Amino acid sequence: MSEAMRKIEISLTINGRTQTLAVEPRLSLSDMLRDELRLNGTHIGCEHGVCGACSILLDGVPIRSCLMLAVQADGHQITTVEGMCNEDQTPGILQEAFQDAHGMQCGYCTPGMLISAQALLTANNDPSLEEIKDAIGGNLCRCTGYTQIIESIQLAASRMREAG
């Protein structure tokens, strides 16, 4: 068993910063982000790929960080919700829109919602209602009924279009 506890060194870029750390093989990427790197913005809901709270961007595309081993992230680029702020650490357009349109209640699902919405709006800043619903289809929210989350994404999209 001592062999199995061997830590493996990985190097990856998280929110623009390259980091090297040693991880146990069984450690999930979500646990690495929260427990090893203290990036607690990524929330863990179900830990088996159902709720979407732990969504992050891996090389620009949304994935569930609880369904990937930390060792598998070696050499990849990761964006967490912390990486969505402006450079001066103020909220980005999407985050501000969630604030203005009340796109959250308890806030547990919010990081995952933001990640899914960011991926959508990066590819398409004028999404239809169906496209928005599809993009956040893998993110469960138990408070809002989704209406205000959808309105927040629509507000962010309109502000992004205005900003050009």
Token pair 């964006």: residue: 79
- Of 6 and 87, nearer to another protein (C-beta) is 6
- Of 27 and 96, nearer to another protein (C-beta) is 27
Q: Where are the beta strands (DSSP E) in 24-112?
A: 55-58, 61-64, 77-79
Largest CA distance in the chain: 58
CA atoms 97, 103, 105, 108: torsion sign: negative
**Which of 132, 107, 129 has the alpha carbon at shortest distance from 117?**
132
Residue 5 Cβ vs another protein, minimum distance, rounded to whole Å: 6
- Of 55 and 95, nearer to another protein (C-beta) is 55
Residue 80 Cβ vs another protein, minimum distance, rounded to whole Å: 14
Residue 108 Cβ vs another protein, minimum distance, rounded to whole Å: 16
Instruction: Quote the CA–CA distance of 99 and 69 in Å, as a whole number.
Output: 32
| Sequence-distant contacts of 122-127: CB under 8 A, at least 24 apart | 122/60, 125/157, 125/160, 125/161, 126/157, 126/161, 127/153, 127/157
- Of 58 and 101, nearer to another protein (C-beta) is 58
Residues engaged in binding another protein (CB under 8 A): 1, 3-6, 8, 24-26, 28, 31, 47-49, 52, 55, 58, 61-64, 66-69, 71-72, 116, 119, 134-135, 137-138
Residue 89 Cβ vs another protein, minimum distance, rounded to whole Å: 26
- Of 37 and 119, nearer to another protein (C-beta) is 119
